[in-house]
Amino acid sequence: MGSLAERAVHQSVHAVLESDEQLAKRVLDEEDAINELQLEVDDRVVQLLALHQLMAADLRLVLAVSRINNDLERIGDQAVNIAQGALRILRHPRVKPYVDLPRMSELVEEQVRNSLNAVVRRDVELAQKVMSTDDQVDHIATRFSGNF
């Protein structure tokens, strides 16, 4: 599910950057796979909670997976929003080059990848790096939104 969400972000942003309508449509077509996996993971979480008496560490992990599951589905939804926006944008000629968007997209893709790796590896330092990268993304987004 993490790979699908990561790919959806990559494809949706690159649909904008590369003016690629087919890439945007692919994101829309693949949305159902992420949604189905969310339901499957939710079911497994409920089964684990209902059928097993989890100890504290295991319970924390299962609850974290449940939250991550929801976040990944939301990332997929945001990628769909970007892809839909790309399809609207592509109907019009580009007025000016994308200056900040490529760097911001690189950082966000890195955040998604590093977030998942931090959980899998239980790497606190990598998780902290994700949070510091978020400050960079916020800075670019603030600068970007000031251009309108």
pLDDT at 93: 86
Could you tell me the residue range of the domain that residue 27 belongs to? 1-93
Query: Is residue 81 domain-shared with residue 28, that is, in the same domain?
Result: yes
Q: Is pLDDT above 90 for 100?
A: no
Query: Is residue 76 domain-shared with residue 113, that is, in the same domain?
Result: no
Q: Is pLDDT above 70 for 145?
A: no
The CATH number given to whatever domain includes residue 6 is: 1.20.58.220
Q: Is pLDDT above 60 for 2?
A: yes
Nearest residue to 1 via CA among 82, 81, 83, 66: 66
Nearest residue to 90 via CA among 10, 3, 23, 5: 23
| % of the chain beyond a pLDDT of 70 | 97
Query: Is residue 89 domain-shared with residue 101, that is, in the same domain?
Result: no
Query: Is residue 85 domain-shared with residue 22, that is, in the same domain?
Result: yes
CA atoms of 100 and 141, how far apart (whole Å): 8
Q: Is pLDDT above 80 for 140?
A: yes
Query: Is residue 78 domain-shared with residue 122, that is, in the same domain?
Result: no
CA atoms of 126 and 118, how far apart (whole Å): 6
Q: What is the pTM of this model?
A: 0.87
**pLDDT tens digits along 57-77:** 999 999 999 999 999 999 999
- What is the 8-class DSSP label of residue 134? H
Query: Is residue 6 domain-shared with residue 77, that is, in the same domain?
Result: yes
Query: Is residue 59 domain-shared with residue 1, that is, in the same domain?
Result: yes
**pLDDT tens digits along 15-54:** 999 999 999 999 999 999 999 999 999 999 999 999 999 9
CA atoms of 32 and 88, how far apart (whole Å): 21
pLDDT at 98: 83
Positive/negative CA dihedral, 14, 136, 76, 147: negative
Query: Is residue 78 domain-shared with residue 20, that is, in the same domain?
Result: yes
